[in-house]
Chains A and B, each alone.
Chain A
Amino acid sequence: MQKFETLTGIAAPMPLVNIDTDMIIPKIFLKTIKRSGLGVNLFDEMRYDRQGNEIPDFVLNKEQYRDAEILVAGDNFGCGSSREHAPWAIADFGIKAIVSTSFADIFYNNCFKNGILPIVMPEDVVDVLMKDAEKGSNARMTVDLENQTVTTSDGQSFPFEVDAFKKHCLINGLDDIGLTMENVDAIDAFEAKASEARPWV
């Protein structure tokens, strides 16, 4: 997995609340058996009309946000299904960090598995970052995972919380399965004990 250290990039504002996984990647794109190539369909129904033409009003279609690497979004981002296609599409588009007041649980976890950093900030901070993002491509935001801060284009810096283990994996680009395999003895031991206590499982 790709390592995440610091990122300075364009932030796109998406103030809508409850942006769900069907909006992020509509189900017709779930029929793939691959992980890659979903970026062109990110936010498909909001981004293109039925003929496949871009809807000019949509934020990622605007010239200044085409290369956005950060999203600043409304409450409860990523609610809905467990589809990892959502973070796959986001990562494939090139977005590496998302800021919101809250994220849906499964989506939040899925982000870390794909090198994306979801950042939870209080509402007043999200408001400041949203305003900063609205300045367009001249304003670059900086996300520093090591020091756990987000800094606006005009230098205001805000701290954020992140689980230490998830941070460690993201910074070092570690693969979860490999890490877990290091504890395979513990799993073997648990399994032996459990199959005695609960043989019907």
Chain B
Amino acid sequence: MSPKTLYDKIWDAHVAHESEDGTCLLYIDRHLVHEVTSPQAFEGLRMAGRKVRAPEKTIAVPDHNVPTTLDRANPATMTEDSRIQVEALDKNAKEFGINYYPVSDVRQGIVHIVGPEQGWTLPGMTVVCGDSHTATHGAFGALAHGIGTSEVEHVLATQTLIQKKSKNMKVEITGKLRPGVTAKDITLAVIGETGTAGGTGYVIEYCGEAIRDLSMEGRMTVCNMAIEGGARAGLIAPDQTTFDYVRNRPHAPKGEDFDKAMDWWKTLFTDEGAHFDKVVTLKGEEIEPVVTWGTSPEDVLPISALVPNPEDFKGGKVDAARRSIEYMGLKSGQKLTDIEIDTVFIGSCTNGRIEDLRAAAEILKGKKIKEGMRAMVVPGSGLVRAQAEEEGIAQIFIDAGFEWRMAGCSMCLAMNPDQLAEGERCASTSNRNFEGRQGYKGRTHLVSPGMAAAAALTGKLTDVRELM
């Protein structure tokens, strides 16, 4: 048999039907659902008189719209249209009999954090969700990608997706990371290298020593942003780190089933000599803590750099860079470390897990954030929040002057009341720095949790290594 990539193996194990032209029906093992991209899909089912084919493989949780203030049980904390969406999800979950974590459940949180945490996401699975950051689940060696609402309806009705296979791309990070450099810096550095369209048409497998050394949390951060690089999905081969994380999760297999699962999971790696259509290699030692300066995730530079000059770019990017610099209120040639910040957001499906909060707390311990700084931590799930409270991390944040919030997407996309005001500038651990992403005319610099904490202390974009 010819050698296969990890992607090939998972793909082959899920093809339910293949047409002559190569169009496949890919069977979906887990379908995650949230309130924003699903109402029209359920409505479509209802109108066609269809049922959810596999409700036991469908998991729903409200996250995008929900308030993150302590008083959120009070419906008055939500705007009417947000409330309608959340209520529609409540109703649809009940009516169609799918697994559900309502806002009042401590397990509620961002869909991409809840799935792995509850053991819904397992190696070798196909996982989809009406959300582009579904790529996160690839950290388990699961083929996971975002879909649109029509496809949500398609999966609900048929448990399959109409797909053509993507090409294989390998992103290798060799060697060790230096202190202060994290999974977030890896994933941003890769996008800086490949551009936001560099992965279009591909499924990326991340490998190499620096990836192997990452915890599951770090691996999820890396895969989470595969989509910002344009890829359909990101994958990391499962190993002992994965198996240890998965074992004993509520929905992970138990006993004999677990052993049987392990037998298969251990075969999930890219065979020696398998073909990749594109290969990118970065040296772990050379990655520095990075930040974004513009309004595209590819606008990445080491924190030690200067705001670029639009003329340094080529083609359509010249205008885009000019527009970005103006939107961001920056000057070419300005030091990135001279950029003043007024808001810090720690959270999101990129960096809202326990390890991220620990990394930020490590920097903040015993210190106070700059006066006038608005800083918030929004844990990725109720369980992350509870664990952080138990570990004393919550107290470090609170003592430093951070707001300690309830779980949700929050200021990652600002669909709830957590938004930047016009002209406000935020160091954010989220994944998108698009114009208006965190609020109308708000300005976003993407950073790692440690870098976000450092910025909160100094009031400027700061090299976290100076505070370590």
Seen from chain A, the residues whose Cβ lies within 8 Å of a Cβ on chain B are: 15-18, 20, 22-23, 26-28, 30-35, 45, 50, 74-76, 79-84, 87, 102-106, 109-110, 113-114, 123, 163-165, 176-177, 179-181, 183-184, 186-187, 189-191, 194, 197-201
Contact = CB atoms under 8 A, between A and B. Distances in A.
Given A33-B40, A200-B253, A200-B257, A82 B413 contact: no
Interface of B: 16-17, 19, 21, 23, 25, 27, 29, 36-37, 39-40, 43, 48, 50, 57, 64-65, 79, 81-82, 84-85, 88, 122, 124-125, 130-132, 134, 145-151, 153-154, 157-160, 162, 164, 196-197, 200-201, 230-232, 252-253, 257-258, 260-261, 264, 296, 298, 315-317, 319-320, 323, 413-415, 432, 434-437, 440
A34 B435 contact: no
A104 B230 contact: yes
A187 B435 contact: no
A18 B415 contact: no
Contact of A18 (B130, B261, B320): B320
A183 B435 CA distance: 43
Contact of B162 (A103, A164, A180): A180
A181 B158 contact: yes
Contact of A33 (B43, B79, B257): B43
B433 to A, nearest CB: 10
B449 to A, nearest CB: 22
A33 B84 contact: yes
Given A17-B317, A84-B148, A187 B436 contact: no
Given A35-B40, A181-B158, A109 B65 contact: no
A201 B158 CA distance: 16
Given A15-B316, A16-B316, A32-B81, A105 B232 contact: yes
B99 to A, nearest CB: 14
Contact of B319 (A15, A23, A164): A15
Contacts of B150: 84, 110, 113-114, 176
Contacts of B231: 105
Contact of B27 (A181, A194, A199): A194
A17 B432 CA distance: 16
A82 B230 contact: no
A123 B317 CA distance: 14
Given A22-B435, A28-B415, 9 more contacts: A26-B436, A45-B440, A102-B197, A109-B148, A110-B150, A176-B150, A187-B25, A197-B264, A200-B261
Contact of A190 (B16, B23, B257): B16
B317 A80 contact: no
A82 B146 contact: yes
A16 B160 contact: no
A120 to B, nearest CB: 10
Contacts of B316: 15-17, 74-75
Contacts of B158: 177, 180-181, 184, 187
Given A27-B414, A84-B37, A106-B132, A22 B146 contact: no
B440 A177 contact: no
B230 A187 contact: no
Contact of B25 (A22, A33, A76, A186): A186
A37 to B, nearest CB: 12
7 contacts: A27-B414, A30-B36, A30-B64, A50-B440, A84-B149, A104-B230, A106-B147
A118 to B, nearest CB: 12
A200 B37 contact: no
A53 to B, nearest CB: 15
Contact of B200 (A105, A114, A176): A105
Contacts of A191: 16, 27, 159
Given A177-B48, A187-B159, A201 B29 contact: yes
A123 B27 CA distance: 36
Contacts of A113: 148, 150-151
Contacts of A102: 197, 200
A16 B323 contact: yes
A32 B85 CA distance: 8
Determine which residue in B148, B230, B261, B432 has the highest number of CB atoms from chain A within 10 A of its CB, and name it: B148
A82 B131 contact: yes
B132 A80 contact: yes
Nearest to B17: A186
Given A16-B320, A18-B320, A109-B148, A80 B434 contact: yes
Contacts of B232: 105
Contacts of B17: 183, 186-187, 190
Contacts of A163: 21, 23, 164
Nearest to A107: B148
Contacts of B36: 30-31, 83
